[in-house]
């Protein structure tokens, strides 16, 4: 009888403990659902948002401030900006040229933050044994690029600096995957793109950079965008994101070995390729300043001049907050 009573008492105690744990768990989840505001961030593999996502610190810091971070991955910038436009994400990490194209088309986007330049890893590739030795040698040649991206601007800018016009080359609009195949098979004479494609081509396709984005050709920065309405109503969120992303980028600069492994896994590329990519750039994320406003204005002006956009833009009008 005593053993049965002891067993029953033990079962009751076990049940009470289980109920207490279950209630606590429910309360924690329920409290989070009712108190945390969800912020959705769109990213592409190996971009600053992806680094922050994998590191995991930003989400924890945002949670401590009352925000739950949700990450959404995209294959390209076009899909990401469409998601931003539709409201399925709140912020997008994107390159320097798509914002200009979309603003000219009437999108109500604003610039939130800017990253560091990726000029050294962006450029026009040719084969090492090519007879093309300078930009002027591209005259009449087939050059692969992706319309509406930084490669589009880089070619226009490089041609302009060489005293050439857009009509001097044969433009071949391809996405990066198709451009890589065309370049490898010799169906195009040159290919304008950015890292990690440039590093991959240099190490696996007997390629070299004819010209890079350096010396004022194309800075090719990362930008964080939001919609004008969301940015207006969420200044604290934007400020926190810039602050915590900046800390993540500082971490990236100081931990290159860990960063290379992280990005190699994310991109499914060899560490040799990623090391080259990382070695020729640095990482940062800051509020928009006059330098980057001018860079974006240069893109907008050149695209308007070339007839690629029909609306003349004033980039400073599309900036949510500035640091100066």
- 266-300 pLDDT, tens digit per residue, is 999 999 999 999 999 999 999 999 999 999 999 99
Instruction: Calculate the CA dihedral of residues 78, 80, 84, 90 and round it to 10 degrees.
Output: -160
pLDDT of 29 > 70? The answer is no
Who has greater pLDDT, 31 or 133?
133
Residue 192 and residue 144: Cα distance in Å, rounded? 6
**Domain ranges for the chain:** 36-116+221-318, 120-212
Q: CA dist 250 to 74, 185, 284, 314, Å?
A: 25, 40, 7, 31
Instruction: Calculate the CA dihedral of residues 48, 54, 55, 56 and round it to 10 degrees.
Output: 110
- Burial label for 38, CB within 10 Å (0-12, 13-18, 19+), is exposed
pLDDT of residue 13: 60
- pLDDT tens digits, 90-104: 999 999 999 999 999
pLDDT of residue 144: 98
pLDDT of residue 322: 83
- pLDDT tens digits, 223-244: 999 999 999 999 999 999 999 9
Q: CA dist 202 to 141, 193, 247, 268, 273, Å?
A: 20, 12, 31, 17, 9
- pLDDT tens digits, 146-185: 999 999 999 999 999 999 999 999 999 999 999 999 999 9
pLDDT of residue 22: 55
Q: What is the CATH superfamily name and number for domain 36-116+221-318?
A: Periplasmic binding protein-like II (3.40.190.10)
130-144: average pLDDT: 98
Contact 207, 89 (CB under 8 A): no
- pLDDT tens digits, 71-81: 999 998 889 99
pLDDT of residue 298: 98
Residue 290 and residue 296: Cα distance in Å, rounded? 10
pLDDT of 15 > 80? The answer is no
pLDDT of residue 1: 46
pLDDT of 32 > 90? The answer is no
- Burial label for 49, CB within 10 Å (0-12, 13-18, 19+), is buried
User: Kind and range of the H or E element at 19?
Assistant: helix 2-35
Provide the percentage of residues in the chain whose pLDDT is more than 90. Answer: 87
pLDDT of 308 > 90? The answer is yes
pLDDT of 16 > 90? The answer is no
State the DSSP code for 189: S
Backbone angles phi, psi at 314, to 5 degrees: -115, 100
Residue 75 and residue 131: Cα distance in Å, rounded? 35
Contact 220, 213 (CB under 8 A): yes
Neighbours of 13 (CB within 10 A): 10
Contact 192, 176 (CB under 8 A): no
pTM to 2 decimals? 0.88
Residue 214 and residue 159: Cα distance in Å, rounded? 14
Residue 87 and residue 83: Cα distance in Å, rounded? 6
pLDDT of 249 > 60? The answer is yes
HSE of 12 in the Cβ direction (CA atoms, 13 Å)? 6
Give me the CATH code for the 120-212 domain, please.
3.40.190.10
pLDDT of 30 > 60? The answer is no
Residue 125 and residue 221: Cα distance in Å, rounded? 19
pLDDT of 193 > 70? The answer is yes
């Amino acid at each position: 009888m005593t053993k049965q009573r002891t067993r029953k008492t033990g079962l009751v105690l076990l049940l009470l403990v289980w109920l207490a744990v279950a209630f606590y768990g429910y309360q924690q989840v329920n409290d989070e659902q009712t108190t945390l505001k969800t912020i959705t961030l769109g990213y592409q593999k190996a971009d600053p948002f992806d680094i922050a996502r994998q590191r995991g610190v930003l989400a924890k810091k945002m949670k401590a401030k009352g925000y739950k971070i949700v990450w959404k991955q995209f294959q390209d910038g076009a899909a990401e900006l469409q998601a931003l436009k539709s409201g399925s994400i709140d912020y997008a990490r994107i390159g320097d040229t798509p914002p200009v194209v979309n603003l000219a088309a009437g999108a109500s986007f604003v610039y939130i933050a800017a990253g560091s330049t990726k000029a050294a890893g962006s450029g026009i590739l040719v084969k090492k044994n090519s007879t093309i030795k300078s930009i002027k040698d591209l005259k009449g040649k087939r050059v692969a690029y992706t319309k509406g991206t930084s490669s589009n601007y880089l070619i226009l800018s490089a041609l302009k600096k060489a005293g050439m016009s857009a009509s001097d080359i044969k433009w071949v609009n391809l996405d990066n995957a198709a451009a890589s195949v065309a370049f490898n098979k010799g169906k195009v004479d040159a290919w304008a793109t950015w890292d990690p494609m440039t590093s991959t081509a240099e190490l696996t396709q007997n390629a070299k950079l004819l010209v890079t984005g350096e010396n004022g050709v194309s800075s090719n920065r990362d930008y964080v965008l939001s919609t004008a309405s969301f940015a207006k109503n969420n200044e604290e969120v934007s400020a926190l994101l810039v602050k915590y992303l900046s800390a993540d980028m500082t971490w990236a600069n100081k931990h290159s070995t860990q960063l290379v492994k992280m990005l190699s896994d994310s991109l499914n590329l060899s560490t040799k390729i990623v090391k080259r990519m990382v070695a020729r750039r640095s990482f940062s994320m800051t509020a928009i300043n006059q330098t980057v406003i001018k860079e974006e204005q240069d893109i907008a002006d050149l695209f308007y001049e070339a007839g690629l956009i029909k609306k003349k833009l004033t980039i400073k009008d599309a900036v949510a907050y500035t640091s100066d």
